[in-house]
Chain A
């Protein structure tokens, strides 16, 4: 009996199990983000969606992308939404994430995205066996970022740095005006 259980357990592809569980969580939580009526709950489901998406990246051995996903999306994007909610808080948050009447426009965009996504994934010729994922993915990402994609990378970095310095400058400037 034990031997039978063990062979059964060994025959299951555990990565596939993890992937399908995580994929189900991603889909359900993404749907709930749209369907839940309270926008605070929508944000929390959004965080669940982002974290489980990071789990999907983990199953692909892309730990770096998973950490970026958690840090940028769950840690920063959700917090941006939280800021917006807190700044416009109403007495009753019960009916804050409602549907509007633009069914046709929304449906059109949804169909377009589905068709485009399906077309792109159909066009990829899946190789029989994927090449092995290198042990150390960060090095490869760094090499690519600073060789092939160096110009977009540097432009983005410069943009972010300018934004950061600008924010500090603005904060200082406002203070100086208030004093005078």
Chain B
């Protein structure tokens, strides 16, 4: 029921276009554009919803009610937020590096959008089923660092520059345990294709096979998205808003709303794919479509992200770097070693 709704739609669209006499090559190109446009719309819609969800969860954790005036239970609040941000003037401060300053908020959303093109949303639902999907995703998301630094540097503001330095230091340090944690899963599955990683979890989810890797991935993921308790990048009590200090209106919204939530969605979706069985249904509940399961799991991870955000205080800079390099990296290396040894022993026993 609804399982193949998107796959069928794609097939129908392909048939419709080729029925018009369009050659296969352009058919492929048109379908690719449709898929990627769908991904962009998906990210934008989810980002607006996540703004609302974040405010509600924050409010309930702080014993408040949160937005409730616009629409039923405040559901139209994100619409008003977007209208407000769009109508705001874009302020251009003196002595900014104009081209870099304006390009940074545009480019910042590119890595998450590109990363989504290889993520399997459901059974046979992946825009580009790339053989090295995981590796490609890691490579593309590593580009975000440069965009944050562009914004921090081009603003010509000392708070922005300090924020930019922190972004580079933090994202480079936590990328390492993030990737090393995923290596454990790759060792077990022996593939970099994300659909095959999901299929390999038919019997047991990797959160049970690789619990340490999951924890490392989750912590490093929070740090990679620059969210509390790792939000030193934009720590408002220390450096105003870090790299976004000089941005106003939509420029700020691109960083804070779109890019942050898009990155969080990529990290959560990857967490789902790598550790929570992706679109596989638990307990044999296959009557619910696979893509619904994917979104449920992804939103569960996002909820935990938000829960962590409003529960823990921010950590200090020296603690941040120390924790990354002295705890997470050795732990992930040990996890790889144990995984390798364990696999060898299992094979020797003949399981």
Contacts and interface: CB of A to CB of B under 8 A. Distances in A.
A64 B330 contact: no
Nearest to A3: B21
B161 interface: yes
A71 B111 CA distance: 12
Interface stretch (B61-69, B136-144, B250-258): B136-144
B94 interface: no
A44 B100 contact: yes
Interface string B39-55: 00000000000000000
Interface residues of B, number: 32
Contacts of B130: 63
A89 B132 contact: no
A168 B168 contact: no
Interface in A138-159: 138
A41 B100 contact: yes
Nearest to A85: B153
B132 A171 contact: no
A78 B145 CA distance: 10
B325 interface: yes
Contacts of A1: none
A78 B100 contact: no
B132 A138 contact: yes
Q: How large is the interface on A (under 10, 10 to 19, 20 to 34, 35 or more residues)?
A: 20 to 34
Contacts of A79: 145-146, 168, 172
A78 B146 contact: yes
Interface of chain A: mostly helix, strand, loop or mixed: helix
B6 interface: no
Contacts of A135: 131
Given A63-B131, A86-B164, A171 B325 contact: yes
A67 B168 contact: no
A26 interface: no
Given A10-B23, A70-B139, A64 B132 contact: yes
Interface string A1-20: 00000100110001000000
B25 A10 contact: yes
B330 A168 contact: yes
Contact of A40 (B143, B153, B326, B333): B153
B25 A168 contact: no
B149 interface: yes
B192 interface: yes
Contacts of A137: 131
Contact of A75 (B145, B164, B326): B145
A14 B161 CA distance: 43
A89 B161 contact: yes
A64 B135 contact: yes
Interface in B153-174: 153, 161, 164-165, 168, 172
Nearest to B138: A71
B344 to A, nearest CB: 15
11 contacts: A40-B100, A44-B150, A67-B138, A68-B139, A70-B140, A70-B143, A75-B142, A79-B145, A86-B161, A135-B131, A138-B132
A-B residue pairs, 9 tightest by C-beta: A75-B142, A71-B139, A70-B139, A67-B139, A67-B135, A67-B136, A86-B165, A64-B132, A63-B132
Interface of B: 23, 25-26, 97, 100, 130-132, 135-136, 138-140, 142-143, 145-146, 149-150, 153, 161, 164-165, 168, 172, 192, 322, 325-326, 329-330, 333
Given A70-B142, A74-B142, 12 more contacts: A44-B146, A44-B150, A63-B130, A67-B139, A70-B140, A74-B146, A76-B172, A89-B161, A138-B192, A168-B325, A168-B330, A172-B326
